[in-house]
Amino acid sequence: MSTGFHLFLAVAAVFSHHVQAADILVATATFASPWMGVAKIAEVLSSRGHVVTVLAPASEKSELMRKWPTFHYETFGDPKETPLMKEVMKTVPPKLSFSTPGLRGHLSVASTLASVLLDNCEKMISETQLMTKLKNSPYDVVLAYPGPSCGFFVAQYLDLPLVCTMLPTIPTGLGIRATGVPNPLAYVPTVLSGLSDQMTFLQRVKNILVYIAVATTGQIFERYIDDVARRTIGDNFTMSAALARTDVWLYQSDLMFDFPKPMMPNMVSIAGHVAEDVKPLSEEMEKFVQSSGDDGVVLVTFGSMVAAMPAEKADMLAAAFARLPQKVVWRYTGTPPPSLGSNTKTMEWVPQNDLLAHPKTKAFVSHCGYNGVAEAMYHGVPLVGMPLFFDQYANVARTVARGMAVALDIHAVTSEEVYQAITTVISEPRYEEKADQVSTHLRDQPQSPMERAVWWIEHVIKHGGLPHLRSRAIELPFYQYYLLDVIGMIIAVISAVLLSCLKCCSFACGMCKRGNTNTKKKTN
């Protein structure tokens, strides 16, 4: 009796799980940090019984299947083409990030990246056969990353609910326009400004000017994407219209990573979701880490887009690392620098999150890409930040404001300054204390970031979309959003009343003068 009952419950559970399973289409560029953040969510969704289908370039399918075998794949483009990431690395020379600082360098890298990604986007949505196949498939929701991946166009074309993951700082200002959220520039720093929420008068002037530049760039970028859509799927497909349909925004941010600012009801924080899944180190790596003794380990990486760097810059950093008593794990693929110390282990790839979670790790030298900063905050590791481009300047500004980091200029820093900065964040207790405090806040939640992300996606699926959470702001024209028509009407009414009063007064004065004149004539 008991065995039969348990068997019934097991079958019922499996059947119930099967009924709740959904078909999820992941339509995002398989490119660096944005893809990694989405892929982690998709992995968890797949483990919960959902069918996850990834829309990807055919040239990347084999590599994706090797890393994520549980996903299904729909592909586009020529399988013999150079994979997107390799194309980017070929067209964006690593040296550019180090040799061309400032606005010129940002624009050069941005234009090259945008060109490659937009080309990929056009290939995807222009394949009529693929889009028709997707249209006839029983998908329940689209998970996308807003930007050149054009996943939002796929959701609009299929008329499906849309969930977007979003980094906290997007260089084009896309997040502001896509959500309609208010953006008070008096205390909300613009990406690329490198400012905190406490600004002087001149800093507020800088913040406004940077915002205007960023917003203008964003509008140009948006026109390019709209042009791609017009050439492929129709005139009524625009970036604004597609993103206005977003049911939930999964922001990879929170009040420890970012500064307090206005939020919409469908903007959900999932900061730290990339840092939750920690795996044991390999035997070789664990042995190297343990050999550091009480001094510990320093992790160094400048991200997936910069695998190598100019020889003189690499040698400068190697000389600084060689002076440290700590062991150093450095993600570096170039020729070993002459000054490389015996304490430094260079690797083509490092288990970044797993190393940051290790108790022996004392500091993290980084370009401050989002994933690295999020993982360092989650695991409470002090930072030495040397940003290269885009949102990395905003990321390091936030960690410095939290008191857990020191910022350096990679274009002008010396070996001595690098050595002193690393020594400072390790030897001065306040950096570790602040990092631990940030980590404690990030972990002290009733629901983990990943659980929250998955719950919201399943909530959207369950109800077939959440239109009641969307703000009407993005659908309003500029003059309505800023109430210029209402202000104009009020000014017009007040002006008309004042003019009428002035006319009445003038008329009354005229009548009084005329009456006085008539009285004088009669008296005479």
Residue 162: strand, helix, or coil: strand
Q: What are phi and psi of 165, to 5 degrees?
A: -90, 145
Those residues with Cβ within 8 angstroms of residue 123's Cβ, 6 or more apart along the chain or in another chain: 57, 76, 77
Tally the domains of the chain: 3
Residue 277: strand, helix, or coil: coil
pLDDT for residue 95: 45
Beta bridge partners, 246, equal 162
b/e 341-380 (16+ beta carbons within 10 angstroms → b) = eebbbbeeebbbbbbbbbebbbbbbbbbbbbbbbbbbbbb
Of 161-170, 184-193, 287-296, which one has max mean pLDDT?
A: 287-296
Of 42-56, 186-200, 509-523, which one has max mean pLDDT?
A: 42-56
- Separation CA 505–CA 371 (nearest Å): 69
pLDDT higher for 22 or 97? 22
Using the predicted structure, report yes or no on whether residue 13 has a pLDDT greater than 70: no
pLDDT for residue 91: 55
Using the predicted structure, report yes or no on whether residue 256 has a pLDDT greater than 80: no
Residues 310-343 pLDDT 10s: 888 889 999 999 999 999 999 988 788 999 999 9
Least confident of 151-160, 166-175, 275-284, 296-305: 166-175
- Kindly report each contact of residues 444-449 with a partner whose C-beta sits within 8 Å and lies 24 or more positions away, as own/partner: 448/273, 448/276, 449/269, 449/270, 449/271, 449/272, 449/273, 449/276
Cα 435 to chain centroid distance, Å, stands at 22
Helix (H) or strand (E) holding 350: none
Cα dihedral across residues 24, 28, 30, 31: positive or negative: negative
pLDDT higher for 148 or 139? 139
Relative orientation angle of helices 128-135 and 151-158, to the nearest 10 degrees? 50
Relative orientation angle of helices 449-463 and 32-47, to the nearest 10 degrees? 70
In a domain? residue 1: no
For residue 12, the number of C-alpha atoms closer than 13 Å in the C-beta half-sphere is: 6
- Separation CA 180–CA 472 (nearest Å): 8
Using the predicted structure, report yes or no on whether residue 422 has a pLDDT greater than 90: yes
Please tell me whether residues 56 and 161 are part of one structural domain. yes
Using the predicted structure, report yes or no on whether residue 361 has a pLDDT greater than 60: yes
Please tell me whether residues 267 and 294 are part of one structural domain. no
Relative orientation angle of helices 370-379 and 32-47, to the nearest 10 degrees? 60
Those residues with Cβ within 8 angstroms of residue 21's Cβ, 6 or more apart along the chain or in another chain: 49, 50, 51
Angle at the Cα of 220 from the Cα atoms of 217 and 224, rounded to 5 degrees: 135
In a domain? residue 361: yes
- CATH number, domain with residue 365: 3.40.50.2000
With a pLDDT cut of 90, the percent of the chain lying above it is 41
In a domain? residue 8: no
Please tell me whether residues 459 and 509 are part of one structural domain. no
Residue 23: strand, helix, or coil: strand
- Separation CA 3–CA 16 (nearest Å): 20
Please tell me whether residues 249 and 324 are part of one structural domain. no
Please tell me whether residues 191 and 85 are part of one structural domain. yes
Least confident of 63-67, 74-78, 365-369, 513-517: 513-517
Residues 290-299 pLDDT 10s: 999 999 999 9
In a domain? residue 522: no
Please tell me whether residues 40 and 173 are part of one structural domain. yes
Please tell me whether residues 459 and 392 are part of one structural domain. no
Residue 485: strand, helix, or coil: helix
In a domain? residue 16: no
In a domain? residue 4: no
pLDDT for residue 30: 62
pLDDT higher for 254 or 345? 345
**Residue span of the structural domain in which 363 resides:** 283-443
| Banded pLDDT at 6 (limits 50, 70, 90) | very low
Using the predicted structure, report yes or no on whether residue 168 has a pLDDT greater than 80: no
Residues 60-94 pLDDT 10s: 888 889 989 999 999 888 888 777 666 665 555 55
Please tell me whether residues 298 and 190 are part of one structural domain. no
With a pLDDT cut of 70, the percent of the chain lying above it is 84
Please tell me whether residues 394 and 454 are part of one structural domain. no
Residues 189-199 pLDDT 10s: 887 777 888 89
Strand spans (E) along 147-189: 162-166
- Separation CA 391–CA 378 (nearest Å): 19
Of 119-123, 190-194, 394-398, 427-431, which one has max mean pLDDT?
A: 427-431
pLDDT for residue 273: 83
- Separation CA 62–CA 60 (nearest Å): 6
Q: What are phi and psi of 329, to 5 degrees?
A: -110, 115
pLDDT for residue 10: 43
In a domain? residue 101: yes
Average pLDDT rounded to a whole number, residues 97-123: 66
Owner of token pair 């500091």:
363
Residues 447-500 pLDDT 10s: 888 999 999 999 999 999 999 998 888 778 888 888 999 999 999 999 999 999
- Separation CA 411–CA 387 (nearest Å): 10
In a domain? residue 10: no
- Separation CA 495–CA 336 (nearest Å): 75
Please tell me whether residues 294 and 148 are part of one structural domain. no
Average pLDDT rounded to a whole number, residues 140-166: 88
Please tell me whether residues 84 and 128 are part of one structural domain. yes
Beta bridge partners, 330, equal 300, 346
Q: Give the type of residue at 275.
A: A
Please tell me whether residues 191 and 42 are part of one structural domain. yes
Instruction: Name the residue among 272, 280, 297 with its Cα closest to residue 351.
Output: 280
Those residues with Cβ within 8 angstroms of residue 198's Cβ, 6 or more apart along the chain or in another chain: 187
Q: How many CB atoms lie within 10 A of CB 113?
A: 20
Q: Give the type of residue at 410.
A: I
Average pLDDT rounded to a whole number, residues 173-199: 81
- Separation CA 351–CA 373 (nearest Å): 15
Instruction: Name the residue among 189, 171, 229, 222 with its Cα closest to residue 370.
Output: 171
Q: Do the beta carbons of residue 362 and residue 296 sit within 8 Å?
A: yes
Residues 85-98 pLDDT 10s: 666 655 555 545 56
